[in-house]
Amino acid sequence: MMLDFLRYGTAVGLILLNAMVLATRATEEGIFTNHLLVQLHEGEHEKAHQLAKEHGYHSARKLPFGEGLFHFYPLETPQKRSKRSLRNRQRLEKDHRVKNVMVQEGFGRQKRGYRSISEIDIKMTDPLFSKQWYLINTGQADGTPGLDLNVAEAWELGYTGKGITIGIMDDGIDYLHPDLASNYNAEASYDFSSNDPYPYPRYTDDWFNSHGTRCAGEVSAAANNDICGVGVAYNSKVAGIRMLDQPFMTDIIEASSISHMPQVIDIYSASWGPTDDGKTVDGPRELTLQAMADGVNKGRGGKGSIYVWASGDGGSYDDCNCDGYASSMWTISINSAINDGRTALYDESCSSTLASTFSNGRKRNPEAGVATTDLYGNCTLRHSGTSAAAPEAAGVFALALEANPDLTWRDMQHLSVLTSKRNQLHDEVHQWRRNGVGLEFNHLFGYGVLDAGGMVKMAKEWKTVPERFHCVAGSLQEVHKIQSGENLLLTISTDSCQGKDNFVRYLEHVQAVVTVNGSRRGDLIVNMTSPMGTKSILLSRRPRDDDAKVGFDKWPFMTTHTWGEDPRGTWVLEVGFQGGKPQRGVLKEWTLMLHGTQSAPYIDQIVRDYQSKLAMSKKEELEEELDEAVERSLKSLLSKN
Amino acid sequence: MWSEDSILAHHNSGSLPVADIRDVFRDQVSEADIQRLLHGVMEQLGIARPRVEYPAHQATNIVGPQNIQGGAHEGLQHLGPYGNIPNIVAELTGDNIPKDFSQDHGYPDPPNPCPVGKTAADGCLDNVPDTAEFSREFQKQQHLFDPEHDYAALAKWNKELLYHKLKGGPKRSKRSVKNPYLMGQRLDNVVAKKSVPHYPDEEYTTTTLKTST
């Protein structure tokens, strides 16, 4: 057993080394960037920054490797960039404080497994295809080339969603639409708003009920038919579940929708949830909860229904951990990035977000929106919001399911963690960080943007992850006072149920079930740090929430950031207030729930790309298993003697 | 979900979360409560079964009206093929009352055109043109023949009215409001996240969406 590990470990190490040597090969011709290397007569950082500002640059960074050397960063104004930047540079060169200015030449650093856009050879006759930057981003609408779902690679491998049905839980689908009709699954569709099998949208003068049709097109619009654009999984079937268009929502409608034909519908896409007003804390009720649990336990022949959830449009004023649907372990909650890698202004952040796809936001250019089908046979370029992001993810998952129909709901989450890419996503507020096992994550984007090509390749050879266990790691029930200015710190030390049947060694989801209230709920903040040092922001400030009574009652805050970590050790919960006025509060409960596997989930997986997250995680697991095996045998040796 | 025996067998061997039991049995005991309790016990004893997911893992004590988004309650969509359809902006801040005239629309049933592969024998409408005009006229006709069906002023929608409608009152056409899915717990303010609220720092220089005709 031990020998086996050893041999395996060395082999992996050798191959890794090889791969690294190969990968250092740089490529490509020079392009001139707007980044400048500037040498000044004086080396003061403050002055350099001032100078940069004066000349139309964003900032200056002092370079440690030379006297008076600074890196001048350009302002992010993509339009008319070249002319203005030339002028700026010429002015800068003449400035008396400046000794020398050098334009930085850009050179290619090819990422492995990454292909340039010109290599993609996909021809579609659909008129809007070239506007679908989220499928293939060539820089349309001032976007960042290459920042897309990488569907081209999946398509070229032959995966287009054949045999997979995606249910769109929304306001109906225009299933007569010529771009959708052939991919419409009538048998799996239903209208819960008017209780019949035909979820055709209700007409209003403002065409308000176009949302489901738009979402359906993103997933399943037919290809090469000269109509509108192309769906992410253009040979998949789409089912309409009309459930958002009645005088009020009921628990029965929600529960019925998410459990509609779970043996036929593979993936459910949802763009609804608690009101994004920044002051609501709400989640699924009894029937819906039961239906969700049933879905993951029994749907798709026991492999589990895939629930894709939009993380919400509440922007920085809201936190999707207050949305019990998005923060559920059974849903894959998806956030969005815009076509240049920034966050959309409506993006809601939370630690339960697993990955991201694309939508519009903050850009004036109408073509920066999401191109898809629209009501009554029309097309649109301007589908928007985080709810445009969820169907894209549903489409990518359909491609993965076609590549490997045996994937369970948990496999899909593992694949999302392992194949999502940081790409060129940037977040002004939250840094990208690595968790205890080296997986890179961001509070807003989760593990990054979905990569369809990477996902189908890994899905194809994926071996279903080991059984999942649930461990209550500890529960504090004493009453603790909290007040502004001093954060309450609590700790739970846990062995993660080691020695019991439900020992959790490799984490998937972690929940902190918290009962807390305060004089202003919106000013409460909650952070949790894992034994391996990963800090999750479980709740950030919600300035609009002035609740002073209800607080959070056994609310399960969920984090995906500690994925893969060893949960044994000390967990720290930090609770406090943020905001102008002094607040007081009481914490009554913190229960730590760990969910994950006993055996290493990646150890048996086949590694093709030795720089992938999978390769890294597998190596990590091999090392840890080896360590533990050595420790065990030492112990047994000692006890024998 | 678990055999009674296994629960009893472990009853004496571990400490039960007494506070939980009291909480659960204080008021009415629903099946979900019992399940939650049992599950808690199983987990503390370390005999929880793997693989299966329990509602207890997500259950929370949510009370009061549910606030869900995901219906006709948001604005700023680019509506219609040319984007020239007026858009009513729902406010994010303030009173949480949607500023949306669809409240006055009522909810007539849309037409049920036959999808590919279905015919009138399946209870749908054959040869329906996929146009806004057809839907508008269809729903208008419905309004004429079944005035009660169109829930005008749904703000005044209440349990009495629902009861009245479900009990039927005078005999009504077959297409009347017998939607069983409207029974059970009602979730107020459930709305679809169809579009994005407007942010002041959005990179728009002019408003591209009109709010009046």
In a domain, B9, yes or no: yes
Q: How high is the pLDDT of residue B39?
A: 66
A503/chain B closest Cα distance in angstroms: 8
In a domain, B87, yes or no: no
Which residue range(s) make up the domain with A215?
164-460
User: What does the pLDDT average to over A48-76?
Assistant: 82
In a domain, B27, yes or no: yes
Q: How high is the pLDDT of residue A592?
A: 96
- At residue B47 the predicted structure's pLDDT band, cuts being 50, 70 and 90, is low
In a domain, A408, yes or no: yes
- At residue A250 the predicted structure's pLDDT band, cuts being 50, 70 and 90, is confident
Q: How high is the pLDDT of residue B75?
A: 38
In a domain, B36, yes or no: yes
User: What does the pLDDT average to over A226-231?
Assistant: 95
Query: Does A171 contact B117 at a Cβ distance shorter than 8 Å?
Result: no
User: What does the pLDDT average to over A242-252?
Assistant: 85
Least confident of A134-138, A139-143, A594-598: A139-143
Which tens digit of pLDDT belongs to each residue from A105-137?
Answer: 666 554 444 455 556 678 899 999 999 999 999
Furthest CA-CA distance within chain B: 73
Chain B residues whose beta carbon lies within 8 Å of the beta carbon of residue A376? 130-132, 135
Number of domains in chain B: 1
Chain B residues whose beta carbon lies within 8 Å of the beta carbon of residue A253? 181-182
Which tens digit of pLDDT belongs to each residue from A268-319?
Answer: 999 888 888 888 888 888 889 999 999 999 999 999 999 999 888 778 888 8
CA triplet A478, A482, A484: central angle to 5 degrees? 175
Residue A20 pLDDT greater than 50, yes or no = no
Reported ipTM: 0.74
Mean pLDDT of all residues belonging to chain A? 88
Q: What CATH number does the domain containing A584 carry?
A: 2.60.120.260
In a domain, B177, yes or no: no
Q: List phi, psi (to 5°) of A381.
A: -105, -5
| Interface with A, mutate which of B13, B112, B149, B193 (most A CBs under 10 A) | B193
- At residue A79 the predicted structure's pLDDT band, cuts being 50, 70 and 90, is very low
Which tens digit of pLDDT belongs to each residue from A497-530?
Answer: 999 989 999 999 999 999 999 999 999 999 999 9
User: What does the pLDDT average to over A570-593?
Assistant: 95
Token pair for residue A611? 């720089």
Q: How high is the pLDDT of residue A474?
A: 94
Token pair for residue A275? 């009101």
Q: What CATH number does the domain containing A393 carry?
A: 3.40.50.200
A387 is catalytic: yes
Residue A557 pLDDT greater than 70, yes or no = yes
In a domain, B182, yes or no: no
Full 3-state SS string of A513-567: EEEEEECCHHHEEEEEECCCCCEEEEECCCCCCCCCCCCEEEEEEEECCCCCCCC
Chain A residues whose beta carbon lies within 8 Å of the beta carbon of residue B107? 193, 202, 245-247
Chain A residues whose beta carbon lies within 8 Å of the beta carbon of residue B57? 293, 329, 470, 511, 556, 593, 595
Of A218, A214, A188, the closest CA to residue A201 belongs to A214
- At residue B49 the predicted structure's pLDDT band, cuts being 50, 70 and 90, is low
Which tens digit of pLDDT belongs to each residue from B55-105?
Answer: 777 766 565 555 666 533 343 455 555 555 554 433 322 233 343 433 334
Chain B residues whose beta carbon lies within 8 Å of the beta carbon of residue A177? 130
What totals of helices (H) and strands (E) does chain A contain, helices first?
Answer: 11, 26
Co-location of A445 and A480 in the same domain: no
Q: Which of A316, A384, A387, A420 is catalytic?
A: A387
What is the spatial distance between Cα A236 and Cα A257, in angstroms, rounded to a whole number?
20
In a domain, A639, yes or no: no
Q: How high is the pLDDT of residue A352?
A: 95
SS3 category, A179: coil
Cβ neighbours around B142 below 10 Å, total? 18
Co-location of A386 and A493 in the same domain: no
Of A565, A592, A345, A324, the closest CA to residue A434 belongs to A565
Token pair for residue A86? 């030339």
Q: Which of B48, B50, B111 sits opposite A200 (nearest CB)?
A: B111
Q: Which of A276, A378, A379 sits opposite B193 (nearest CB)?
A: A276
Which residue range(s) make up the domain with B45?
4-57
Give CA B169 to chain center in angstroms: 26
In a domain, A435, yes or no: yes
Query: Does A247 contact B107 at a Cβ distance shorter than 8 Å?
Result: yes
A596/chain B closest Cα distance in angstroms: 10
Co-location of A322 and A289 in the same domain: yes
Cβ neighbours around B8 below 10 Å, total? 9
Q: How high is the pLDDT of residue B43?
A: 60
- At residue A415 the predicted structure's pLDDT band, cuts being 50, 70 and 90, is very high
Q: How high is the pLDDT of residue A348?
A: 84
Of A391, A385, A442, A386, the closest CA to residue A417 belongs to A442
Q: How high is the pLDDT of residue B96?
A: 37
B171/chain A closest Cα distance in angstroms: 19
Which tens digit of pLDDT belongs to each residue from B96-127?
Answer: 334 343 333 467 889 999 999 999 999 999 98
- At residue A82 the predicted structure's pLDDT band, cuts being 50, 70 and 90, is low
User: What does the pLDDT average to over A166-188?
Assistant: 96
Residues 6+ apart with CB under 8 A from A74: A33, A34, A35, A57, A58, A81, A85
Residue A458 pLDDT greater than 90, yes or no = yes
Number of domains in chain A: 3
Query: Does B57 contact A382 at a Cβ distance shorter than 8 Å?
Result: no
Q: Which residue of B has its CA nearest to A408?
A: B51
Q: How high is the pLDDT of residue A192?
A: 93
Q: Which of A192, A197, A207 sits opposite B132 (nearest CB)?
A: A207
